[in-house]
Copies of this chain bind each other. A is one copy, B any other.
Amino acid sequence: MSFDWGNVTHITKVDPAKEFPDDASVLGHTDAVIVGGSDGVTEENCLDAIERVRSEFPNLPLFQEPNSSDHVSKETIEAVDYLLVPAVYNGDKGNFVGKHVDFFTEIGAKPDEMIGSGVPLVGGLVASKGREVVAELAEKVVGEGYVIQNLDSKAAAETNVETTFTPEEVAGAALATESFYQFPMFYIEYSGTYGGPEDVAAAAQYLDDTALVYGGGIKRRQQTDEILDAGADAVIVGDCFHEDTERYRQTIPA
């Protein structure tokens, strides 16, 4: 993942199952967009959201974070810069290695179906050079080291998170991300509730190459600043983009 985090401090998570706000131009104030959600997500609404963001904000870095391979198609892959695949450290096995092996087994077993003939990158090579196609495709997939810290969230329920991590365990997971898995991102997710800077500070001490992002309950610039001051590269703001664009504006750092 050769993505320049230098100027990215504010990322908007767009839920493809929710309506865009009347004034979607506020996205002009964010630094990147992730398309992904939990409920009612389909390949079609992902593609709609991706294409809308891409056409209205062509220069905005754009990611898809699918929570099932059903939300991924050759069209979505073509349209985004990267596919983010969560590796949930405190979830069950099916949300870490199990899911990843399944995903790559599927890619390996069905390169034609997964890729189709419309990918400019590969053109007519699909049939004759399936292996290379798979390798190209796989380059768009990057891992996110992920810790879910709100047990009452949909995200926790879906990944079978039964215990949150202590700050020491968050730090350990961050170090594992930086040193062992080498995923390019480490994501602390408080999903709907503001978790404060403690976990961020614990993780930040070990992360040099890995981007550190925080999401959950951010509704004011003061919170954004607190998280960035604790060492995060960026905050992720979701709900209030859909629900209250005035509030959303107030989450954007100076």
Contact = CB atoms under 8 A, between A and B. Distances in A.
Contacts of A96: 93, 96-97
A63 to B, nearest CB: 15
B175 A134 contact: yes
Given A138-B175, A205-B131, A206-B134, A180 B100 contact: yes
A102 B134 CA distance: 33
Given A134-B175, A179-B141, A180-B143, A105 B206 contact: no
A42 B168 CA distance: 27
Q: How many copies does the complex hold?
A: 2
Contacts of A92: 93
A195 B125 CA distance: 33
Give the interface size class of chain A.
35 or more
A164 to B, nearest CB: 13
B173 A104 contact: yes
Interface string A165-184: 00011011101101111100
Contact of A102 (B108, B109, B172): B172
Interface string A126-139: 00000100110011
A236 interface: no
Interface in A52-89: 85, 87, 89
A106 interface: yes
Contacts of A108: 168, 171-172, 175, 206
A104 B139 contact: no
A107 interface: yes
A144 to B, nearest CB: 11
- 6 nearest A-B residue pairs (beta carbon): A105-B172, A138-B179, A93-B93, A104-B175, A104-B176, A104-B172
Given A89-B97, A105-B171, 5 more contacts: A92-B93, A108-B168, A109-B172, A131-B206, A181-B182
24 contacts: A92-B93, A93-B96, A100-B176, A100-B180, A101-B169, A102-B172, A104-B173, A104-B175, A104-B179, A105-B169, A105-B172, A105-B175, A106-B172, A108-B168, A108-B171, A108-B206, A109-B171, A135-B179, A135-B208, A138-B175, A138-B180, A143-B180, A181-B181, A181-B182
